[in-house]
Structure 1
């Protein structure tokens, strides 16, 4: 374990700012610096330099104290979305070249025939068939033709292929053919990275396995270069500690493991906010049902934590659902909408106001940044309403241009709608709030959950602008805005564990259960977990392993994950208990159950976690803010009026503060534009009880 003098730091690169959270002696400090899109590593060094200067140290001195460096990045995600990944070949079993073309799913709106059929992730011109066939039983029907594979490698070299994805039928049952192809690739194409589907994603569904393998292979050259540059520059700056990368599953892995399977980092940024949000909700209110919202510069990401469990999904898409590309690997279930601080406000030809999904990003940024941006954004509207202090934005690192914000809102919103600029700015914030509410309702109401019964955690640099309004609109009785909420994802990275998930495909029915084969598979999964624990080295204390099955009723299409009560099935009662657990899970998630039906387990899995620290919220220590006593800001129904301003550092624990009031920290402003009541929790979080709308009495009550 690290000594108290060592620092643990995490970095999250957002669309507008690069966030740095520093943990020292159970205290968190937060720093921000503008993201550098063309050189993200330089942006990381910039924000580290800001932290070093705050400590009165050189960059080398500061970085030399870092024992653990944790990094979340959207580098791979952006490459897939923009089509800038490596030139990748796809090798599949002869007779099955259309796996990536035929796909899975379809249009979100089945009657919208204007949506074109999506192109496969790897084009047919780079898809090649490998002779050889393995049956579903694992029996080899036709040996793999390695001479044909060697000849194929010559073609791949001529085509200047940069990566290769290999996905052969039933390699999850017998991997001999994929391993043989991999050996040929090693010999014939040295230096060209490749991915084998059975090691990356041993899933039953062919498209998901093929898609994940193709995405992973295509990211290897890019991410190897990025991770290499990151590691080299950090080491050159004086870092001797451990470098970890955040995964889509809400955990972390060693940087070398991330380079070996870069698809694990695809959704690393959004996956961390739920970890921190859960920790603060537990610490401040003892709550286990939590809505975690992270409002960044580009998107508003929301996750529903139920009974303390962060949800995951294997149906994560890169791009639009149905027409994007399915990752096929476990990922934190996050709903994202284009409603961040940099989201652009615009009016369509029909006179309707829209927010996003376009974003001004960090370059040129909102109009008020003074970097050449001309489009009105949510941040510009907040400045017009008086919610932001133009002189101390982002800890004083940036001075906002109020006149530019007013001009942008007037040109893009007020003019087209025939409103005065203040009313137009309020309309922008109001619509942004509504989009945030819809995103939350989509993940709660669709699961039969009343959002009013959950605690809302507001994170992200732009969270304070709308958090109270969103909570009030949802009917939530309590809202938590962590002091480090402006960098909630980065804070979550410091609270995460080293994690890995392993799977094996082994279909079996509860009415024809094969305990010997299942127990052998579970033993193999446990061995993989033990190897992972041994591999991670320092910090591998108190590891935990959770076994689970992915099961369904016979003839169903989709499986549900069911935790196992036992490490091995030793009796018929163990099988009955497993079936009962599946029936209960099916009823809870889908609302129906069929206790008389057998249960089919399709695959078995193990999830191993190695804690790096206590999974608890820690107090944030933010710098003092010099704020005026009052500021002219917008209050609904009253317009622009003078309202009190409080620095978060001046609020004492337990002190009730009633709105309207603006509570400012160096990196965010919490807007309380109504009589809601705020208190400071011991962790430094603001706990707010939103003022609820006065309910109109019914006729019976009046009588």
Structure 2
């Protein structure tokens, strides 16, 4: 149960990015305090502890007054990307030893003969099999010998493994053999971490289930160690509040649950930004948005309709960044768990600008990160970045980044850009810098198209919601290329992933394979399956400390036309399941299929239900949500002298007004630049900006 301090005074949201760690504190009156500090990659907890002191003290608070500590972390994804996970073994069914090698035959580069599949996270000599078989109905056709299991476990222990993953054929239908293996592991090595697929992902599809279970076991010791170290550090500072982690699906979970199933928090950072954007947009009167989150390392795009973000049922990590089509998958390690549908490209502020062998300028995916950072940081970085280009073009004030706390060396950025890019390309430094910016915009537009036009959505019907430290720098240029007319830049846009944590609910997902034709299902039978999953969710949320009145259940189903290979996830209505509601669900599937792929099957083509899922959500009523952020000492108080900024060959260098957000109480035509503690917003010529009732900057493009 969550042990909440009785004298609750504030909630804290902390998101760790590749360059900065963002902190947002909201007290019980809704007053919001923010802080941005450099990430400490060698020990992420150090930046958190130092940042907390810097944000709590001005608010008149202390660590022991924290009621909830909400955290988005990159530890899981970084462990996979850097291949620094635990040394683990895998126990599978005889004949399926090489499923991690065979995969599902998806290739990200169809005609590249030099492309190699990622190395399996478990070396072949650590992949063992046992003679057992369960059929697709759950019937045992070949019993499992306990002595064979003991021998396999002893062999892995002799190899000094740090964890064991277990995935047997059809164990989603009958987990008894996996339970036996887990029992043997606990007897022979009580302290050894292990993951069994019937707990991690009790659903059909053998490779997807195996890969997900292996990833869970691979990162479990690292994530558990990080969370324990963070918890101990915070308790030493006097904090009594529970640590809640953002999951990839947009919900929160406890540190204990995240330590057991870290596969659910791999994409927690990007998810938090989307959650915050959607909740804030709805409160501001915008239900259909494209969230565009650009930080120091990557840019991420996601779409929300009718105030709901889109969930993907599987994604890959570690296969490189795809900036063309979402259909070309298979390059990384697959995770078949619900996650907010986010497209990502390697185009952040710290992305390195370089010239390829053909003499063309390229952006990323390599990033200068927080250390040494862009050239203009003057911390030893010697390769030009996107941030250096923005400084050269006059968009970023060298004296003002992070409210003036980080001084930039504009001359150094210009010299490196000129020597390493402009001269080799035979152009002047302004042209080179503007070209780098346009290439970055082009790459990021591909990410937006991946979640809109490639999903059957017209981006022109959405509002572009710009967040992240660099989102508002590029939003207008991207919107113009896409035909989007309206842009929303929220207050404290550069810390919005941390804001999202404070808007999220505690959430647990449970699923079950069904594999029946929808029109053949008896409602009573289906209802019993739902009830089993709902009971699990309610029981877990009750253990988390929530009452029945605080719990809400949402239903989902994965469906496909009979004979298809891949499913679509459909949100189902609340209420009883009847013959009429089954027909409504089938129609909803057909409508979504037509919208996404441009066609639907005829009525004589049956819809097949593959699996069902429920999400159990809970939140404390009246828990403080972020309000208007406090003013920072470095914030602009009044309009500053204009600065020259370059807006392409059409406009050239223009005198550009430098203004605080408050100057937009009356509509203002561009060009102008809004400078704030955590972000810079560029309003180009032929655009108008104003403030709405929620202090959002609303940019309208002509």
Fold equivalence (TM over 0.5): yes
Asked if 1:619 corresponds to 2:628, the answer is yes
The Cα shift of 1:108 comes to 2.2
In the TM superposition, residue 18 of structure 1 has moved relative to its aligned partner by: 0.5
Q: 1:585-610 CA distances to partner (integer Å, 9 max, x unpaired)?
A: 33333331322222221212211111
2:699 aligned counterpart, secondary structure: strand
Question: 2:8·2:67 contact (CA, 8 Å) conserved in 1?
Answer: no
Residue in structure 2 matched with residue 684 of structure 1 by the alignment: 695
Candidates 337, 361, 366, aligned match of 1:358:
366
Q: Are residues 614 and 552 of structure 1, via their aligned partners in 2, closer, same or farther at CA, if it must alter by over 3 Å?
A: farther
Judge which range, 202-211 or 470-479, deviates more.
Answer: 470-479
Matched, 1:492 2:500: yes
In terms of mean alpha carbon deviation, does 163-172 or 534-543 score higher?
A: 534-543
- Which of 44, 48, 52 lines up with 2:52 in the alignment? 48
1:171-182 matched pairs, under 5 angstroms: 171-182=171-182
- Cα distance between partner residues in 2 of 1:126 and 1:613: 49
Q: How far apart are 1:236 and its partner, in Å?
A: 0.8
Residues 618/588 of structure 1: CA separation in 2 closer, same or farther (3 Å cut):
farther
Q: 1:511 to 1:64 in 2, by over 3 A?
A: closer
Match for residue 79 of structure 1?
79
Residue number in structure 1 paired with 2:647: 635
Question: In the alignment, what sits opposite 2:22?
Answer: 19
In structure 1, what is the equivalent of residue 556 of structure 2?
548
Cα 1:586/1:634, change in 2 over 3 Å: closer
Give the distance between the partners of 1:219 and 1:457, measured in 2 at CA.
33
**Which residue of structure 1 aligns with residue 528 of structure 2?**
520
Q: Which runs of 5+ in 2 are unaligned?
A: 320-328
- Residues 614 and 360 (structure 1), Cα distance of their counterparts in 2 relative to 1, 3 Å cut: farther
Secondary structure at the aligned position of 2:314 is classed as: coil
| Aligned-residue offset at 1:109 | 2.9
Contact (CA 8 Å) 2:301, 2:343: kept in 1 or not? yes
1:585 matched to 2:592: yes
Following superposition, the deviation at residue 486 of structure 1 comes to 0.4
Do 1:280 and 1:617's aligned partners in 2 also have CA atoms closer than 8 Å?
A: no
Question: Does the Cα contact within 8 Å between 1:495 and 1:613 map onto a contact in 2?
Answer: no
Give matches, 1:64-213, under 5 Å.
Answer: 64-213=64-213
Q: Conserved in 1, the CA contact under 8 Å of 2:502 and 2:626?
A: no
State the shift of 1:267 in Å.
0.6
- In structure 1, what is the equivalent of residue 663 of structure 2? 651
* Structure 1 residues 91-147: Cα deviation after superposition (integer angstroms, max 9, x where no partner): 101121122111124222322222124332322111000222212121111221111
| Aligned equivalent of 1:695 | none
| SS of 2:689 mapped into structure 1 | strand
- Residue 265 of structure 1 corresponds to 265
Deviations 1:220-242 (A, max 9, x none): 11111100000000111121122
**Residues 11 and 25, structure 2, Cα contact 8 Å, conserved in 1:** yes
* Structure 1 residues 2 and 682, CA gap change in structure 2 (3 angstroms): farther
Matched with 1:312 is: 311
Which residue among 28, 31, 34 is the counterpart of 1:30?
Answer: 34
| Aligned twin of 1:428 | 436
Which sits farther off after the overlay, 272-281 or 295-304?
272-281
Corresponding position of 2:324: none
In structure 2, C-alpha distance between the alignment counterparts of 1:462 and 1:322, rounded to whole Å: 30
TM-score relative to the length of structure 2: 0.93
**For residues 565 and 496 of structure 1, what CA distance do their matches in structure 2 show?**
21
| Structure 1 position 620, deviation (Å) | 2.9
Greater Cα offset, 70-79 or 587-596: 587-596
The counterpart of 1:667, out of the listed 648, 653, 678, is 678
Distance 2:176 2:200 in 1: 15
In the TM superposition, residue 635 of structure 1 has moved relative to its aligned partner by 3.4
* Cα distance between partner residues in 2 of 1:349 and 1:558: 39
- My pick for the range that moved more, 509-518 or 313-322, is 509-518
Distance 1:355 1:532, change over 3 A: same
Structure 1 residues 256 and 666, CA gap change in structure 2 (3 angstroms): same
Partner of 2:13: 10
The alpha carbon displacement at 1:467 in A equals 1.2
Deviations 1:450-487 (A, max 9, x none): 21111000100011221111122222121001112101
1:182 and 1:70, CA in 2 relative to 1: closer, same or farther beyond 3 A? Answer: same
**3-state SS of paired residue (1:631):** strand
The alignment partner of 2:62 has SS state of helix
The 1-side partners of 2:607 and 2:513 are apart by 15
CA contact (8 A) 1:247 1:267 kept: yes
Q: Which residue of the other structure, out of 528, 544, 555, is the alignment partner of 1:536?
A: 544
Residues 359-413 of structure 1: CA deviation (Å, up to 9, x unaligned):
0000110011111001101111111122222222112221111122112211222
Post-superposition CA distance 1:250-291 (Å, at most 9, x none): 11111111111111110111111111211232233x222110
Report how far residue 612 of structure 1 moved: 4.2
Aligned partner of 2:323 in structure 1 is none
Does structure 2 retain, via aligned residues, the 8 Å contact 1:618–1:683?
A: no
CA–CA distance in 2 between the matches of 1:372 and 1:54?
A: 32
From the superposition, tell whether residues 331 and 232 of structure 1 become closer, same or farther in structure 2 (CA, over 3 Å): same
Instruction: Answer yes or no: is the 8 Å Cα contact 2:273–2:497 preserved in 1.
Output: yes
**SS in structure 2 at match of 1:218:** helix
Deviation of 1:445 (Å): 1.4
Structure 2: how far apart are the matches of 1:529 and 1:550?
A: 19
Residue aligned with 2:484, SS: coil
User: How far, CA to CA, are the matches of 2:608 and 2:496 in structure 1?
Assistant: 40
Task: Give the C-alpha shift of residue 42 in structure 1.
Answer: 0.4
- The 2-side partners of 1:579 and 1:454 are apart by 27
- Asked if the contact 1:662/1:672 (under 8 Å) is kept, the reply is yes
When residues 515 and 478 of structure 1 are mapped into structure 2, their CA distance, relative to the original with a 3 A threshold, is closer
Q: TM-score when scaled to structure 1? A: 0.93
Contact 2:560-2:568 within 8 A present in 1 as well: yes
Instruction: Give the root-mean-square deviation of aligned CA atoms.
Output: 2.1
Maintained 8 Å contact 2:359/2:425: yes
Work out the CA distance in 1 between the residues paired with 2:590 and 2:450. Answer: 25
Whether the 8 Å contact between 1:540 and 1:611 is mirrored in structure 2 is: no
The runs of 5 or more residues in structure 1 that have no matched partner are: 692-703
The count of aligned residue pairs is 683
Q: Given the alignment, which residue of 310, 329, 350 partners 2:337?
A: 329
